[in-house]
Structure 1
């Protein structure tokens, strides 16, 4: 499916019926990453919406206009277009940064916040420099550097050895991402604010999920992240890396579904009139 949001063609998946769940993919991926979760959540009685962010997947890729604010505004506009007043929102990696932005700027759209394989801190000076340099090289035509930098560290060593088909599939998603989306998102991530000291302000029900072999978000960061949120729970997925939702989908689905059910019991997620509740 696709629609025009903020003057841009945005592609999205919309499956199932019932309380709404919105899933935001990570960098440098697409909504295709959520296939196991869309299937499980929709079968369990939830409406699941998973967009391709601007510049990714089948969505339009403008030359400019990439920021955490803009990504979050696109999510809100899509929710309003689909008549979703509020939803449980899950964000993986970069999607988690967008979710933090939503909690700050559009808190009433979020009934529950699922932080999957992500972090609350901003890049340090060295990290900002690395992202800026990589963005510049991508714009100069060296887009393959993104695949080289990210492809292998997205997975647990066990996955690289035992599930090469998943690795190949994720590589194909990275290769499909536009140059504008890659470079613009790298710059947007470099400019994101630090939210760690502000987590106490977010009293939404929250889930913080990690993986024991994640090379990008070390599992030891999950406990402090969850502790800093006033109303949170956490889980660490065994035998998985940064792509835990594909590497160990049953474990991820069980943890996520338990959280979504809890949120749906506490909030009316069937507000389908499109109001910004």
Structure 2
């Protein structure tokens, strides 16, 4: 396993792989790795000759400076986890000035309706930051494939749109959500929860399951009212949103249209930690 801090050094080494027509997989992360990340890395290892894992806490996608400062960082632990998985992994862990070429600012993107709802609505500028850092990573690595978990489902669709806007030739691979034993979507943020909070957080997963089980029986309005009520009865939570949207364009669903594929999305705060999850409902 090799560690790179400079993108020019990484690009030089990758040139040798590309010269042999080797397939390159990229797994972009912000570190604080967990088994969910490792599942993405394993899929990338299975499908490519060389895998690059980026570990970079991107400052331009945080609308809350406190959230950026509190984001867990453990490079040594991350490297230990990756080395236990495979030695055929290269890690890119740059300083912001290296990746952004000294100009650490977001590029402005028009992701259309995809960025107007849910995460885009509640986190102003978030997807400009995501798009900017991924565009830079994609150009630094020039991978054949890049791997993303479906926990950040809205981001997954944004990334696919980014490749179209930037005319990038790579495959975006969406991977299933990896969950804690109690169903909570695995996230680096979970490390900030107490042991009790970690168990209570299963309400998010259980609520999505309930919505899935009742999707064909209740109206959309009834589903949303019931889910909101579940959180009102648990004052330790602050529900930011529960939305039902189409799986392909994230258009808000107001009535069950039968064959249209829909997903439920939740964002909620617990112990000051913002947690998100989603699930296909039909």
Same fold (TM over 0.5): no
Max Rg structure? 2
Q: TM-score, normalised by structure 1?
A: 0.34
More helix by share: 1
- Which structure has more relative contact order (CA 8 Å, sep 6+)? It is 1
Normalized against structure 2, the TM-score is what?
A: 0.33
